[in-house]
């Protein structure tokens, strides 16, 4: 009987060892598969307590993934917010500079238009002045040509004779009044 009891004890130990080995191989296989893809065979071997433990492990992994996702999202939002805070003022400054440059260009164009208007007025004034000068030259040319005609019509020999005759008459008078 003692031998039977020893054999039964050995058989029980062997069954426990085999079950433990089977559980270990199933766990190894489950590790090889991704988190939620555990085989139905593995889950059917586990007791309620072990199932709860596995469920808690999966929930912890899921909560860690959710936490990592949330932290990543917050970091991305912070980076985006910082980028907006840095970029928006620079964009505003650039736009303000562009608006000022456009205003300056408009002022330069307005001044150029005024200058062109002034030049046009000056050219009109110069044209009028040239016409007036032409008129004066024409008028004076007529007067000068009339004067030259009159001077050429004067008989120089007769004028010289008249001057000599006048001189002859005045000379005796001048002597008379000098004494």
Q: What is the pLDDT of residue 36?
A: 47
Top pLDDT among 108 and 53 is at 108
115-155 pLDDT, tens digit per residue, is 888 888 888 888 888 888 888 777 778 777 888 788 777 77
Domain membership of residue 42 (yes or no) is: no
Top pLDDT among 71 and 5 is at 71
Q: What is the pLDDT of residue 127?
A: 82
- Give the span between the Cα atoms of 102 and 108, in whole angstroms: 10
Domain membership of residue 34 (yes or no) is: no
- Give the span between the Cα atoms of 153 and 169, in whole angstroms: 26
Domain membership of residue 36 (yes or no) is: no
Domain membership of residue 3 (yes or no) is: no
Of 36, 74, 32, 76, the C-alpha closest to 54 is 36
Q: What is the pLDDT of residue 73?
A: 96
Domain residues for 135?
A: 47-178
- Give the span between the Cα atoms of 143 and 148, in whole angstroms: 9
Q: Calculate mean pLDDT across residues 17-40.
A: 62
Residue in this structure with the two tokens 């003692």, named with its chain if needed: 2
- Give the span between the Cα atoms of 103 and 91, in whole angstroms: 18
Q: What is the CA radius of gyration of the chain?
A: 64
Which tokens in the block code for residue 177?
């009044």
Top pLDDT among 31 and 135 is at 135
Q: What is the pLDDT of residue 105?
A: 93
Domain membership of residue 10 (yes or no) is: no
Q: What is the pLDDT of residue 43?
A: 62
When divided into structural domains, the chain yields a total of 1
149-179 pLDDT, tens digit per residue, is 887 777 788 778 888 888 888 888 888 887 6
Can you state the percent helix, strand and coil of the chain, rounding each to 5?
95, 0, 5
Q: What is the pLDDT of residue 176?
A: 80
Domain membership of residue 1 (yes or no) is: no
Domain membership of residue 16 (yes or no) is: no
100-110 pLDDT, tens digit per residue, is 999 999 999 99
Predicted TM-score (pTM) of the model is: 0.38
Q: What is the pLDDT of residue 134?
A: 80
User: What's the mean pLDDT when you consider all of the chain?
Assistant: 81
Query: At residue 98, does pLDDT exceed 70?
Result: yes
Q: Calculate mean pLDDT across residues 76-94.
A: 92
- Give the span between the Cα atoms of 177 and 22, in whole angstroms: 175
- Give the span between the Cα atoms of 105 and 111, in whole angstroms: 10
Q: What is the pLDDT of residue 41?
A: 61
């Amino acid at each position: 009987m003692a031998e039977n009891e020893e054999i039964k004890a050995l058989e029980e130990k062997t069954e426990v060892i085999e079950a433990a080995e089977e559980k270990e191989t199933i766990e190894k296989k489950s590790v090889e598969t991704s988190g939620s893809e555990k085989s139905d065979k593995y889950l059917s071997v586990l007791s309620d307590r072990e199932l709860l433990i596995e469920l808690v492990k999966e929930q912890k992994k899921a909560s860690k993934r959710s936490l990592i996702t949330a932290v990543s999202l917050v970091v991305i939002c912070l980076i985006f917010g910082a980028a907006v805070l840095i970029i928006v003022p620079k964009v505003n400054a650039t736009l303000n500079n562009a608006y000022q440059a456009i205003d300056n260009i408009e002022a330069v164009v307005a001044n150029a238009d005024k200058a062109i208007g002034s030049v046009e007025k000056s050219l009109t004034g110069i044209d009028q002045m040239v016409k007036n000068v032409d008129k004066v030259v024409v008028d004076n040319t007529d007067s000068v040509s009339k004067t030259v005609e009159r001077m050429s019509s004067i008989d120089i020999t007769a004028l010289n004779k008249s001057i000599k005759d006048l001189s002859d008459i005045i000379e005796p008078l001048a002597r008379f009044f000098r004494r």
